[in-house]
Structure 1
Amino acid sequence: MDRYTVISADCHAGADLLDYRPYLEKRHHDDFDAWAATYVNPYEDLLADTADRNWNSGRRVAELEEDGIVAEVVFPNTIPPFFPTASLMAPAPSQQEYEQRWAGLRAHNRWLADFCEEAPGRRAGVAQILLNNVEEAVREVRRVHAAGLTGGILLPGAPPGSGIPELYSQTYDPLWAVCAELGVPVNHHGGSASPPLGDEPAARAVFMVETTWFSHRALWHLIFGGAFRRNPELKLVLTEQGSGWIPRVLDMLDYYHGRLVAAATRANTAESKFGAGLADSMGKGPSEVWRDNCYVGASFMRPHEVPLREKIGLDKIMWGSDYPHDEGTHPYTREGLRIAYAGLPRAEVAAMVGGNTARVYGFDLGLLDPIAAKIGPTVEEIAEPLTKIPADATSPAFARGGSVRVW
């Protein structure tokens, strides 16, 4: 083809609040009615005229196709039943809240399965779980897999003070095992692992500085915790956390791995206790684990990240538009692709904008390529350097600064 098959590895959707009710078990209906009657949505974008992009299937398909996108990985966005905020941002539930929160997430997962069926083969829905009870999480993984959600699961964060075990804990081994067994990707999304910081101006600024770092923690927790040694088929996807950090963090993790494993052989040193048992528990080194098991949902990949693509791994990078968020590339996805990928070899662009995502999430290119042949961006178009940033573009893909090159 002379067009790219573009699959967004990072989009968001969810039901309008009251539309979740039919997806709840009937025993929760009265509690849901009472909760919904007094609930005040804290997010302006979910109250605006454009909020229906989250659940209006026809509008969504049309706007994505206008942007040249044929398929999407669908993360959550709206407020599930019984949650104070979006599930990505909500604190870990207390025991009293736990049952209702689980009911709300199951309702979202049921709704999402139906939503994906409205565009067969073009949506890979990411199911939601809680970590308070691993056996219950395992049951939900099996249920959503059988229901046809091909996007895998959204791994909640375990920030300090959450009251649940850290992600390196072997408590979660049954969860990693079922995901590896079923080929279910484990997705960890930016913004999902920060501890509550309050709402002062400084707190909001600190959140912006630290939120991606807290999301990155899942990588070294699972590596050092040995999740990939015990489950060699496990796939971890880190989404909307940037991608330029990966090479230097892998270098750092390799350094500590080598240093601690070596120290463990010298029993009389102060460091020996830090590396004791590490080599046996985690197996391969961090860079090898990244090579064999990990991927990055490189949402609206920025120009300064692109030169690092070989160090990150050309087979690891999955571009995403972040539709329908303000920081997403819509309606300037073609320009966002041009500013990042103009001048690169066609095969490399094809892999990053769709091929890798199809492989990781199981999209059928035989179904999607004919659609892309009609609406996808042309190879010639993406090869043309972007000389002017759209005046009303809001995505960080177009951010000005010394590390961002504009032709």
Structure 2
Amino acid sequence: MTESERYTVISADCHAGADLLDYKPYLESRHHEDFDVWAATYVNPYEDLLADTADRNWNSERRLAELARDGIVAEVVFPNTIPPFFPSASLMAPAPTREEYALRWAGLRAHNRWLADFCAAARGRRAGVFQILLNDVDEAVKEIRWAVTAGLTGGLLLPGTPPGSGLPELHARVYDPIWAVCAELGVPVNHHAGSASPPLGEEPAARAVFMVETTWFSHRALWHLMFGGAFRRHPGLRLVLTEQGSGWIPGVLEMLDYYHGRLVAAATRADTAESKFGAGLADQMGKGPSEVWRENCFVGASFMRPHEAALRERIGLDKVMWGSDYPHDEGTYPYSREGLRAAYAGLPRAEVAAMVGGNAARVYGFDLERLDALAAEVGPTAAELAEPLKEPPADATSPVFAPGGSVRVW
């Protein structure tokens, strides 16, 4: 790559959704009356969805233009706005009763159908991540098959099973039909931060505890699926952990390897207190955690920081997929070029190319040749991203620019 050549940047973490009333045409008609009643009294709790910039979630032309100005030619599209019958963002609202499940399931299916149209409006540049609920596995499998036929290439958004949800834990065999169909059809299973935390309240302490714990609750999906044997039974299954940071991965893999080795060994010694904890684990899991990570797992490394980029080889160069988190305030827009410089300046160009686009193209099925042509017009140049960022933009809001270590000192 010469200095004038441009990187093909794919954001592996963006968010979108319809305006509230625009979901109605995507609902089955039997739900229209209930929707009218719900929408008439619903109060949106999110300031960013009430601001004059809220249409970034659904205004296709505005979105394409803003992402292009930011150097991004394609995106993986997670949900953002409130789907019908949900009290808040669907990432954080598991259905508590059968009645609520029925309505919320209808609302998520409406979102998925809206998303299929939204992605079709920029075909080849959006990989839509569709939603399911875990209350009815058979219905979830049907929706996965529908989503593939509808062209939603971003894969499945895996809900969490937070304490109090009443759902079986993710390691349970009851979810095997979901893993099986995803492996069969090549559907990535995405687990996004914020989707597995229990409700904690609105007190200052509760909000602080949420910030401390939310990524940990999201990480749980990794060891649940590993120890539950999902990857042994379904070798083609791929798990993507998005907007949960990436610097934690080497240490957690070491910890998981330690427990795996310790418990498998203990199972062979019936006279030890730990033998029961490792009983059957080797047969259920097959390979150890680090090997499963290498073969089946990826990270959506939203607004990646320099200290995380330094761990890229331990994480896996073929695992890291940078994301801008557009249109969120914590995302890098409109300073994604600066964010990329902060994280990747000075790194080998082939490695940067993989992390900013090549890996995401492989996981989500983007046509790189087509996107390269777009990137030749709008992508950041090799010379631009090689230039260290000495000062962050004054009005930048992304954590990648936070003082105290995110920007390299040169």
Identity %: 83
Partners of 2:368 and 2:309 lie apart in 1 by 25
Query: 2:44: which partner in 1?
Result: 41
Q: Contact 1:304–1:404 (CA<8 Å) still a contact in 2?
A: no
15, 27, 30: which one aligns with 2:30: 27
Q: TM-score, normalised by structure 2?
A: 0.98
Partners of 1:251 and 1:171 lie apart in 2 by 28
Q: Following superposition of structure 1 onto structure 2, how do residues 175-194 of structure 1 map, counting pairs within 5 Å?
A: 175-194=178-197
Query: 1:281: which partner in 2?
Result: 284
Q: What are the Cα deviations for residues 217-236 of structure 1, in whole angstroms up to 9, with x where unaligned?
A: 00000000000000000000
Query: 2:115: which partner in 1?
Result: 112
How far is 1:109 from its partner? 0.2
Partners of 1:43 and 1:29 lie apart in 2 by 24
Q: Secondary structure in 2 aligned to 1:305?
A: helix
Q: Contact 1:176–1:231 (CA<8 Å) still a contact in 2?
A: yes
Partners of 2:171 and 2:214 lie apart in 1 by 19
How far is 1:406 from its partner? 3.6
> 2:348 is matched by which residue type in structure 1?
P
Q: Contact 1:128–1:153 (CA<8 Å) still a contact in 2?
A: yes
Q: Contact 1:298–1:318 (CA<8 Å) still a contact in 2?
A: yes
Query: 2:256: which partner in 1?
Result: 253
Q: Secondary structure in 2 aligned to 1:88?
A: helix
Q: Contact 1:339–1:406 (CA<8 Å) still a contact in 2?
A: no
Query: 1:211: which partner in 2?
Result: 214
Q: What are the Cα deviations for residues 142-181 of structure 1, in whole angstroms up to 9, with x where unaligned?
A: 0011100000010000011110000000000000000000
Query: 2:82: which partner in 1?
Result: 79
How far is 1:404 from its partner? 5.1
> 1:306 is matched by which residue type in structure 2?
A
How far is 1:403 from its partner? 6.4
Partners of 2:261 and 2:375 lie apart in 1 by 46
216, 224, 228: which one aligns with 1:221: 224
> 1:79 is matched by which residue type in structure 2?
I
Q: Secondary structure in 2 aligned to 1:64?
A: helix
Query: 2:305: which partner in 1?
Result: 302
> 2:57 is matched by which residue type in structure 1?
N
Partners of 1:168 and 1:191 lie apart in 2 by 19
Q: Following superposition of structure 1 onto structure 2, how do residues 357-372 of structure 1 map, counting pairs within 5 Å?
A: 357-372=360-375
Q: Following superposition of structure 1 onto structure 2, how do residues 348-363 of structure 1 map, counting pairs within 5 Å?
A: 348-363=351-366
> 1:229 is matched by which residue type in structure 2?
R
- Matched residues, number: 407
Partners of 1:381 and 1:89 lie apart in 2 by 38
How far is 1:402 from its partner? 4.3
Partners of 2:16 and 2:27 lie apart in 1 by 18
User: Is 2:404 the partner of 1:389?
Assistant: no
Partners of 2:399 and 2:181 lie apart in 1 by 36
Query: 1:102: which partner in 2?
Result: 105
Partners of 1:16 and 1:93 lie apart in 2 by 25
Unaligned stretches of 5+ residues in structure 1? none
Q: What are the Cα deviations for residues 223-268 of structure 1, in whole angstroms up to 9, with x where unaligned?
A: 0000000000000000000000000000000000000000000011
Partners of 2:84 and 2:226 lie apart in 1 by 34
Partners of 1:388 and 1:298 lie apart in 2 by 22
Q: Secondary structure in 2 aligned to 1:274?
A: helix
Over aligned residues, Cα RMSD in angstroms? Answer: 0.8
Partners of 1:161 and 1:406 lie apart in 2 by 45
Query: 1:291: which partner in 2?
Result: 294
Query: 2:382: which partner in 1?
Result: 379
Partners of 1:297 and 1:130 lie apart in 2 by 22
Q: Secondary structure in 2 aligned to 1:70?
A: strand
Query: 1:158: which partner in 2?
Result: 161
Q: Contact 1:91–1:196 (CA<8 Å) still a contact in 2?
A: no
How far is 1:388 from its partner? 1.3
Query: 2:132: which partner in 1?
Result: 129
User: Is 2:331 the partner of 1:328?
Assistant: yes
How far is 1:50 from its partner? 0.3
Partners of 2:320 and 2:409 lie apart in 1 by 21
Q: Contact 2:192–2:218 (CA<8 Å) still a contact in 1?
A: yes
Q: What are the Cα deviations for residues 16-50 of structure 1, in whole angstroms up to 9, with x where unaligned?
A: 00000000000000000000000000000000000
Partners of 2:371 and 2:94 lie apart in 1 by 38
- Provide runs of 4+ in structure 1 moved above 3 Å: none
Q: Secondary structure in 2 aligned to 1:298?
A: strand
Query: 1:234: which partner in 2?
Result: 237
> 2:182 is matched by which residue type in structure 1?
C
How far is 1:304 from its partner? 1.0
> 1:22 is matched by which residue type in structure 2?
P
Partners of 1:394 and 1:272 lie apart in 2 by 50
Query: 1:63: which partner in 2?
Result: 66
Query: 1:88: which partner in 2?
Result: 91
Q: Secondary structure in 1 aligned to 2:21?
A: helix
266, 269, 272: which one aligns with 2:275: 272
Q: What are the Cα deviations for residues 269-320 of structure 1, in whole angstroms up to 9, with x where unaligned?
A: 1000000000000100000000000000000000111110000000000000
> 1:104 is matched by which residue type in structure 2?
G
Q: Contact 2:163–2:198 (CA<8 Å) still a contact in 1?
A: yes
